[in-house]
Structure 1
Amino acid sequence: MTMLSLAMFASASATLMNMLRARHQPLDLIVPPVMCAIFAGLLTALVRRPQWLAYIVRIALLTSSAALVMPTWFYTAQAIWTPGLPLITTLPPISSLLLALVVMVMIFFPARQAFGVALLLWLVIAVPVLAYLFAHPDEMWTPRGTGLLMTYGPVVIMLVVLLPMLRGMTGTIERLVSDRVSMEALIHQDPLTRIHNRRVSEQLLRDCLAEQIRAGLIMFDLDRFKAINDTYGHSTGDEVLTVVAARCKELLRANECVSRWGGEEFLVVLPDADASDVRRVAERLRRAIAYAPIGPVSRVTASFGVTTTRPDDSLASVLERADRALYQSKQRGRNCVVSSPAIIDGEPTECAASLDEAG
């Protein structure tokens, strides 16, 4: 849309300037207004039918090429067949438009097609003018002649050669950036469960501690996971880990992190969470894990230990409290949530789930 608008503006400006000139050629009064009308129509079509973009681009490039070819051949032939009428005084200032057209071709066409189309445009637009100038040295060495020689010669060739190189470099940079993003994702992702790995949750917890942001910590471990592997095989055990990770991830918000801590153990970090939030989320995760069978395993449960950070906490101290609470959860029958003393100030810890649900 921007290029069509600029092309329409340029055509309208050329039309106005040709009308204000004291002397002008009939072709100067025909081509610019016709091109202005075509660009206006294409712009309107693009606004109403954006899905026609590919066709509109090709029509715009085709008509722009025709608008440059016709004056070039007309005025070159006129200068050849009319003695005393030099080309440098009659040819309109369209040399810069060829450069703009080549740039648009390089942008909108695939690399291989772009090179061929740009070469064709150079042959039909630039070569006739260059041939004429070489045949008329008196015109070639005038300021206008040398300007045309440089524009239609080295400048166009540089564009045709350098623009594909630039596109290739841009594509390479984009691929490198994409590869870097993919590699970073792999570095921070557990290869089996496709959730975050231990490094991510540790870093998030460190950030919360460093910025004095109160955070909740949930550490949970799948109950009797070794028995699942021994009974159903390690492939089923991997399926259990993957499904558990997916169920937990679905229940967490974007700023909350669940990671595979190691083996069948997981860690959840909840920034800006108070004690009630942490217990509520842990209970929700516990129920989600035990809600439905996973593959051939009729029932999978997990034991949970939860805590919140203190102002004087270190990474080791808060993890130790969560681990102690998890150990107590195992001791109290599994499939329950145990809060550390950091949450229950001075009160004895109790399972959040009833013991008759224990696996």
Structure 2
Amino acid sequence: MPAQDPNDHYVRVAMLVMLSLALLAGVCATAIHWLGRVHHPMDMIVPPLASLLFGGLIVALLRRPTWVLGITRIALGASALALIAPAWLYTAQASLSPDVRLIDNLPPISSLFVVYLAMLMIFVPGRRAFLAAALGWMLIAMPVLLYLLGHRQELWTPRGQDLVMAFGPVSIMVVVLLPVQRGLVGKIRRLASERDVMEVMLHRDPLTGVHSRLLGERVLHEALASHATGGVIMLDLDRFKGINDTYGHPVGDSVLRKVADGCKRRLRANECIARWGGEEFLVIVPNVDAAGLQRVAERLRAAIAAVPVDPVPQVTASLGTTMLQAGDTLDTVLQRADLALYRAKELRGNRVCSGDQQEAEGAL
């Protein structure tokens, strides 16, 4: 059973690659045996059947990607049978016939056995991969190795040494190194996930869940750099210190959370709200004119005034707005918004004041 989720695109692609390589190996083996001078019945039957099976599994995987679990089981089982059969047949034939040598008749299954072990380590999870590898080694490699140990004249030939190396040290290296590699990949993924979590923590206010000041400043910088139309709204809760002093900080935290949630639900996806500090929030509204910015601010003011937070009778906020202007910097925009917010506070709160209007009146 694959270690990955069946819907994981990576697993499907990896299995498709493995099946394609297995199909290529089967086709090559079929051509080699059919073109060879000596034709053994098993060599004439197993490779073509394996090629047909792997080709069918490729078609099935392309048509039914969700079948990847079953297709993987079939592919691994078929591969095991295709290796077990020649290992036992040719070993038994060489053992029973003194004039037959195993190194002359055994197909090139040693390299395919290494590939089979790699498939087990990739697609079978945890301890089951090691158990399957041990069982495969006993059924495929062990009969060949036992035969060679009993026939020293074949053991010391180049083909015999190649078989010993493939079924011995090379197989062990594959079984050991691939899980280590899989563990390293898992660790890298965990580190990447932790990095993503840390980045989210930097960009989210932990109390209210809206954007942090850090991200709010970045969004505002980008809006100024793009020279697009837009505006900002600075809002501050009225008499918030009195709420904390009267009802306690847990109630004050609840007020902040509910206000942030109420504002967020009334903003569009491209409008950013960030907690600026304490009970103060900054809203960045792109692609809006002055009248539209005032409507957004009024909508937020009304939403805050309607927020129910027991036992607080009512929560209100003062809001200051300003449009982004040519030549603006972060400081100039925030200064106008702050002045407008201060004006709303002077007028006893629960209202919206425009920094642009005040600037125009001051110019007159």
- With structure 2 as the length reference, what TM-score do the two structures score? 0.86
Task: Indicate the percent of aligned positions where both proteins have the same amino acid.
Answer: 53
Question: Match for 1:278 among 293, 313, 330?
Answer: 293
2:337 & 2:54 partners in 1: Cα distance? 68
Question: Match for 2:354 among 339, 348, 356?
Answer: 339
Any idea what the Cα deviations from partners look like across 1:11-45, whole Å, max 9, x if unmatched? 24433432333321111122223323433444454
Aligned residues: 348
Instruction: Provide the aligned C-alpha RMSD in A.
Output: 2.5
1:190 Cα shift? 1.4
1:82 & 1:260 partners in 2: Cα distance? 85
2:360 counterpart letter in structure 1:
G
Question: Match for 1:258 among 260, 267, 273?
Answer: 273
Answer yes or no: is 1:317 the counterpart of 2:340. no
Contact persistence 2:297–2:321 (CA under 8 A): yes
1:319 Cα shift? 1.2
Contact persistence 2:316–2:350 (CA under 8 A): yes
1:37 & 1:120 partners in 2: Cα distance? 26
Question: Match for 1:61 among 76, 79, 82?
Answer: 76
2:61 & 2:223 partners in 1: Cα distance? 50
1:59 & 1:335 partners in 2: Cα distance? 70
1:45 & 1:83 partners in 2: Cα distance? 46
Question: Match for 2:157 among 131, 138, 142?
Answer: 142
For residue 88 of structure 1, what is the aligned residue in structure 2? 103
1:277 Cα shift? 3.9
1:102 & 1:298 partners in 2: Cα distance? 70
2:275 counterpart letter in structure 1:
R
Cα 1:231–1:345, aligned 2, differ >3 Å: closer, same or farther? closer
Q: Secondary structure at the match of 2:111?
A: helix
Any idea what the Cα deviations from partners look like across 1:182-237, whole Å, max 9, x if unmatched? 11211222111111222221232234445545542210011232343344433222
Question: Match for 1:117 among 125, 132, 140?
Answer: 132
Contact persistence 2:243–2:252 (CA under 8 A): yes
2:122 & 2:131 partners in 1: Cα distance? 13
1:279 Cα shift? 2.3
Gaps of 5+ in 1: 350-359
- With structure 1 as the length reference, what TM-score do the two structures score? 0.87
Any idea what the Cα deviations from partners look like across 1:242-297, whole Å, max 9, x if unmatched? 12112222333444321111111111123454434432322222232234423444
Answer yes or no: is 1:129 the counterpart of 2:129. no
Answer yes or no: is 1:160 the counterpart of 2:175. yes
Contact persistence 2:80–2:136 (CA under 8 A): yes
Question: Match for 2:252 among 237, 241, 256?
Answer: 237
Please show how residues 1-359 of structure 1 align to structure 2 within 5 Å: 1-2=15-16, 3-47=18-62, 49-210=64-225, 212-341=227-356, 346-347=360-361
Q: Secondary structure at the match of 1:346?
A: helix
Any idea what the Cα deviations from partners look like across 1:109-150, whole Å, max 9, x if unmatched? 112221221122122212222232333333333332232222
